[in-house]
Amino acid sequence: MAAAGIRNIFIANQITHPLKLKRLRDLHEKTKLAVGTDHPRQIRLLNEYFSDLQSALDVLIEIDSGLQRCGLLPGPRLIDLARQIKESEYLNFKGIFTHAGQVYSAGSTEEIRRIAGQEAQIMLQSRQLLQENGIGCEIISVGSTPSAPYLVDQEGVTEIRPGNYVFYDNIQYKLGSCRTEQWAMFVLATVISQPAAQRIIIDAGSKALNLDRGAHATNLTEGYGRILNLRGEIVRLSEEHGVIQLDNAEEIIPGSAVLIVPNHACAVTNLYAKFYLLNQDGSFEIIPVDARGMSQ
């Protein structure tokens, strides 16, 4: 990676609602942040909301590198939007960013590498188009956790955002993004019943593990998490119950612990009020999850 150092900023994506714009303004006064956008209307809103502040707001344009969610393609709309930002008195045009989330549908390492290549290509193409129109890009920011390793040495890229690397999870493992010893988040459940020889029930359902079987609503995993200390699959989740199909008939006493690597660590984080951090010496610290439930 062309070293850009670590920026002390956070890309707040596509902020549009007035209440959220106000919160963004408050945050901007406390820390350095950048805002991602892909629409002229957002530029007008941002310029309006930040008009009476001392420092201008850094803005990046989101590029669609294949996820087909937000973002522009290299073309006239991209040039127009960059120009609009440059002409906005209270905004700084800083560059472009993308998230190649379609990588979560990849079936092989080769496909992940191919998607990472596409991700880089469309970003460089966007940079070139802007340059040809007299607009420089200071930041070229890419990243999905699976594609990030293939972009570390990519010419032109100034930043990667390998979001999930703090915890990793079962989905990242399935995609080959991590090794088992890199898993850092576990859900500890309790067996509450064994109604049949090959069926046990745990006290962790969709409110504890989520229904994710892949990111962006893909279905990458068979079950709803990876069990580490029993041979079986979490085949079904109700809200408070998890149904485990055991590989073999064996008696499991209610009260037994079941250690699970969640499918999607990000979504699971949002379900808990606190984490228990296990230190090297075996002691625990409690870490509150302050930002969960902030949809409102």
Q: Which of 273, 277, 278, 287 binds its own copies (CB under 8 A)?
A: 273
CA distance 234 to 228: 11
Closest CA to 203 of 243, 250, 169: 243
Nearer to its own copies, 136 or 288 (CB): 288
Please, what is the minimum distance in Å from the beta carbon of residue 270 to its own copies? Answer: 5
Assigned token pair, 168: 């990793």
- Main-chain phi, psi angles of 222, to 5 degrees: -70, -55
* Least distance from its own copies to the Cβ atom of residue 104, Å: 10
Asked whether position 270 contacts its own copies by CB under 8 A, the answer is yes
State the nearest-atom distance from the C-beta of 214 to its own copies, in Å: 10
- Interhelix angle 76-87/109-132, rounded to 10 degrees, is 60
Q: Is 239 in the site for its own copies (CB under 8 A)?
A: yes
Residue 266 interacting with its own copies (CB under 8 A): yes
Q: Which of the ranges 2-10, 25-33, 127-135, 251-259 carries the binding residues for its own copies, by CB under 8 A?
A: 251-259
296 forms part of the interface with its own copies (CB under 8 A): yes
Pairwise CA distance, residues 31 & 168, whole Å: 28
Helices (H), the chain: 18-30, 40-49, 76-87, 109-132, 170-174, 206-209, 265-269
Our finding on whether 280 is near its own copies (CB under 8 A) is no
* Choice from 101, 143, 232, 262 touching its own copies (CB under 8 A): 101
Task: Tell me if 217 contacts its own copies by CB under 8 A.
Answer: yes
Q: What is the per-residue binding string for its own copies in 137-176, x denoting contact by CB under 8 A?
A: ----------------------------------------
Identify whether the C-beta of residue 70 lies closer than 8 Å to the C-beta of residue 29: no
Least gap, CB of 25 to its own copies (angstroms): 16
- Mark the segment that binds its own copies (CB under 8 A) among 37-45, 90-98, 134-142, 170-178: 37-45
Contacts 24+ apart (CB under 8 A), 151-158: 151/1, 151/116, 151/119, 151/120, 152/1, 153/1, 154/1, 154/120, 155/2, 155/124, 156/2, 156/120, 156/123, 156/124, 156/127, 157/1, 157/2, 157/120, 157/123, 158/1, 158/2, 158/4, 158/95
User: Interface residues with its own copies (CB under 8 A)?
Assistant: 13-17, 20, 38-39, 41-42, 45, 64, 68-72, 101, 190-196, 199, 201, 203-204, 206-208, 210-212, 215-217, 224, 236-241, 243, 253-255, 266-267, 270-274, 292-293, 295-296
